[in-house]
Amino acid sequence: MEKQTVTRKDVAQKAGVSVSVVSRTLNNSGYVQADKKKRVIEIAEEMGYFPHPVAMSLQKRRTRQLLFFCKDLMNSYNIQMYQGMTRIARERGYMVVLNGNMEFSTIRETMVDGIIMPNEIVTEYYLHTIGKNYHLPVVTTFYGNPVYFPKSVPIVESDMHQVMALAVNGLRKKGHKKIALAVPYDYDTSDARIAQWRSMTEEVFGKRQIDFLISCSRKSLQKEQELLEMLNQSESSADEPDLLRRENFFVKGEILARVFLKKNIDATAVVCFNDELAAGFCSELRRLGIVVPEKISVMGIDGSYIRQITRPLLSTISIYPEQQGEKCAEVLIDLIEGRRIHYVTRVPMKILEGETVKEISGGSLCQKRKSRK
């Protein structure tokens, strides 16, 4: 049984030199005689020496760890962000650690060199609390919500204005003139999407389509959702309480599909808050006998991998979550290492064609739908 950890001191002793020689050898820095060098390397190897990462971190005042501060890891978008940052981090010798619980208080107990925030709202809160006397490099993704934090925090931007421009124009080109928006609630992260959808449809079609907003107040949503869980998943909610803690956009999409039908909304296409919600929306429509896209077109936002398991394949506006993650990591690492950075980084976006948007020619589909009733 060997000693718990072999240190440079141990190697030095065995090689008959001083620790500094060992250090210089291993770091390939400074002078050291060729033969000694060789001996030291041999002995280090033979003794199974590895640098102690904690000691290294203390000395260098650099942990080579990045913190991704996200709420819900079961969300496909976040996972993909994480994948992206991980790749860049690895390339540059870092590791990404997660805090999936929004616990600001633990940040200062965590060994990290910088933080990646999941959106501008969280960032704003952070900067006004912990961030006040903890000056760690931070980058944040940004979706165009109105927030107040210094320009000195670099942002990686997915502008909802662009997203909605793509969605609305894409749908318009296919003949859609009445475009609804389905969002899980009427506040917080929905805000930017609602605002942009509103102004975009008004700009393109010349009139407000605000009646086409499908959303739930927080309260009604909870009630509906509880009901749904009782009916549908009693088993799993009893056995897997944890699952319910996550924000289940799929179920919200299902609920919103029913709201959409109940309110008899006169639209030919629905843009959904994100892909998971769109998937639930489609699924429930189908269950109720409404064929997508024949009767109604659906378009997601995100381009997350959940789309891979939608049938028919979801049409969506991809904002490339992985690239977003990559950019975040890139900028953050540059910031940490004192390199010059851009304070605004834009990630490209694009329509991913799928099978949930139908080309319609003349009058709006909804009339057909209505007439059939």
Partner DNA sequence: TTGAAAGCGCTAACAA
Partner DNA sequence: TTGTTAGCGCTTTCAA
Q: Which residues within the stretch 176-205 sit at the binding site for DNA (CB under 7 A)?
A: none
Give whichever of 32 and 127 is closer to DNA, judged by the CB atom.
Answer: 32
Q: How far is the CB of 64 from DNA (least distance, A)?
A: 13
Taking CB within 5 to 8 Å according to partner kind, which of a second copy, DNA, none is near residue 102?
none
CA gap 308, 299 in Å, rounded: 14
Q: Out of 9, 20, 58, 230, point to the residue binding a second copy (CB under 8 A).
A: 58
Q: How far is the CB of 223 from a second copy (least distance, A)?
A: 19
Within the chain, where are the H helices? 8-15, 19-27, 34-46, 53-60, 76-91, 120-128, 160-173, 190-205, 218-232, 234-239, 241-245, 249-262, 275-287, 321-336, 365-372
3-state secondary structure of 67: strand
Is residue 140 within 8 A of residue 296, CB to CB? The reply is no
Q: How far is the CB of 110 from DNA (least distance, A)?
A: 14
- Residues between 67 and 86 that touch a second copy (CB under 8 A): 73-74, 76, 79-80, 82-84, 86
Question: Residue 215 binds which one of a second copy, DNA, none, with CB within 5 to 8 A depending on kind?
Answer: none
Q: Counting contacts by CB under 7 A, is residue 319 touching DNA?
A: no
Beta carbons of 218 and 187 less than 8 angstroms apart:
yes
Our finding on whether 210 is near a second copy (CB under 8 A) is no
344 binds, among a second copy, DNA, none (CB under 5 to 8 A by kind): none
Site for a second copy in 264-323 (CB under 8 A): 276, 279-280, 283, 286-287, 303, 305, 307-309, 311, 313, 318, 320, 322
Strand partners for 351: 317
Closest CB to DNA among 52 and 198?
52
Residue 318 contact partner, candidates DNA, a second copy, none, CB within 5 to 8 A by sort of partner: a second copy
Residue 362 identity? G
Residue 230 interacts with, from a second copy, DNA, none (CB under 5-8 Å by kind) = none
Can you read off the two tokens belonging to residue 167?
A: 């969605």
Residue 8, binding choice from a second copy, DNA, none, Cβ under 5 to 8 Å by partner class = DNA
Closest CA to 325 of 135, 26, 48, 85: 85
Which of 338, 317, 331 shows the shortest CA–CA distance to 159? 317
Pick one of 28, 59, 152, 371: the residue that binds DNA (CB under 7 A): 59
* 59 vs 361 by CB, closer to DNA: 59
- When asked if residue 39 is in the footprint of DNA (CB under 7 A), the reply is no
Q: Which is nearer to DNA, 53 or 363 (CB)?
A: 53
92 contacts: CB under 8 Å, gap ≥ 6: 329, 333
Structure tokens at 258: 């029913």
Nearer to a second copy, 245 or 370 (CB): 245
Q: Which residues contact 362 (CB under 8 A, 6 or more apart)?
A: 175
Burial group, residue 323, by CB count within 10 angstroms (0-12, 13-18, 19+)? buried
Question: At closest approach, how far in Å is the CB of 47 from DNA?
Answer: 11
| First-to-final CA distance of the chain | 81
Residues of this chain, 201-260, that bind DNA according to CB under 7 A: none
307 contacts 277 by C-beta, under 8 angstroms: no
Residues that bind DNA (CB under 7 A): 5, 7-9, 17-21, 23-24, 26-27, 29-33, 36, 50-52, 55-56, 58-61
